[in-house]
Amino acid sequence: MRVLVITNLFPNKLEPERATYNRQQMSMLSKLCELKVTAPIAWFPFKSFIEKDHTYSQIPKKEIIEGIETFHPKYIMTPKIGRSLYGVMFFLSILVPVLKIYKTFKFDIIFATWAYPDSFAAVLISKLFRKPIITKVHGTDINEYAEFWLRRRLIRFTLNNSCCVISVSQALRNRMIEIGVKPEKIKVIYNGIDADIFKLLDKTDARKELGIDISKKVILFVGNLKPVKGLTYLIKGFAGIANSSQNVVLILIGEGELRKELEDEIKKHGIENCVQILGTRSHKEIPKWMNACDLLCLPSLNEGVPNVILEALACGIPVVTSNVGGIPEIIISTNYGIMVNPKDADRLQKALIECLERKWDREAIHSYSARFSWCYNAEMIYHEMKNVC
């Protein structure tokens, strides 16, 4: 079977850590079928003149990632304007590149991830080439985008015109049914983890290697610094802990639009000495940080099933997180972490304190994570591909 993947969520030369979950999934899937990836790069024609930004020119049009031939056509995107037209622009931008790919790689099926605009464009491509398509949705692409009237209809069109829709959680499946997606099309397949990388390590060794004080309590966040991650509530909740104890540290790993606001919030609370914003770190380095911390905190406002939680569990680390999306399907016991309602800094603070004070069974947490496997995930998706081909 030959599979063409269409998604903007894939690494490239300038963003090697972009969407590592998709990279891992496609790498495992490529062992079961022939696979090529079309990973378009958003491009605004006038940005290079306005901001002297030449990002796109630095990304090769084709590269090999995890042994997978990956193409990077550019798609036109007008920032914050005409978002309901993104799907059509995405389609028009990738049409010629896909035609070129088809000359030497006559794909049997399309696998698209991210409901809009990626999968919308991929559905139009599938109709043009008369090929079946499977769409995978993640969380925000349904939970947030479906709140907009026109985009909700475009998403519903996309999913109902897909042969199969892969949902990363039951909660996300339920939400899609609410907006009018046919239930029989939706299959719940949880994401996986790379057990060779995310595993139990000695905490003392990890801290020594990373230069973290052995005596400190460490709270870790890993992810994009975006409003949807609820980080302002984490800073507020953490400030109450830091102001009463000098023995706790908050480490934020990631980059994003919220960084300046978070830095201002940290200064406002006078906790600069207790909070570190480290920026992006390589995916292979993250397990060291997870094993060095006492807990992972993910106070998101909405989610699908975030891989960072699965990865923390694989490292034997408990999580304090929001009771949203598919997270309750993962944190099925208080033996693995504590869930709180989103946007509640006071309750989040109490949960962080409770988690830091409690003695956790790291071996039990790690053992529980074994059920989330990229190998099983790829086999399930491949099974659905065979069903529709």
Angle of CA points 329, 343, 322, to nearest 5°: 15
Q: Please tell me if the domain spanning 2-192+373-388 has the same topology as the one spanning 203-369.
A: yes
The pLDDT value given to residue 49: 46
Its CATH class, for the domain covering 203-369, is: alpha beta
What are the pLDDT tens digits along the chain (389 aa)? Answer: 999 999 999 999 989 989 999 999 999 999 999 999 999 998 776 554 444 455 667 889 999 999 999 999 988 877 666 677 888 999 999 999 999 999 999 999 999 999 999 999 999 999 999 999 999 999 889 988 888 889 999 999 999 999 999 999 999 999 999 999 999 999 999 999 999 999 999 999 999 999 999 999 999 999 999 999 999 999 999 999 998 877 999 999 999 999 999 999 999 999 999 999 999 999 999 999 999 999 999 999 998 899 999 999 999 999 999 999 999 999 999 999 999 999 999 999 999 999 999 999 999 999 999 999 999 999 999 999 999 98
Domain positions in the chain: 2-192+373-388, 203-369
> What predicted TM-score, i.e. pTM, was given to this entire model?
0.86
pLDDT at 76: 81
Asked if residues 362 and 337 have their Cβ atoms less than 8 Å apart, the reply is no
CATH architecture type of domain 2-192+373-388: 3-Layer(aba) Sandwich (3.40)
d(CA 68, CA 60): 14
Which strands form 319-322's sheet, in the order they lie side by side? Answer: 275-279, 248-253, 217-222, 295-298, 319-322, 337-340
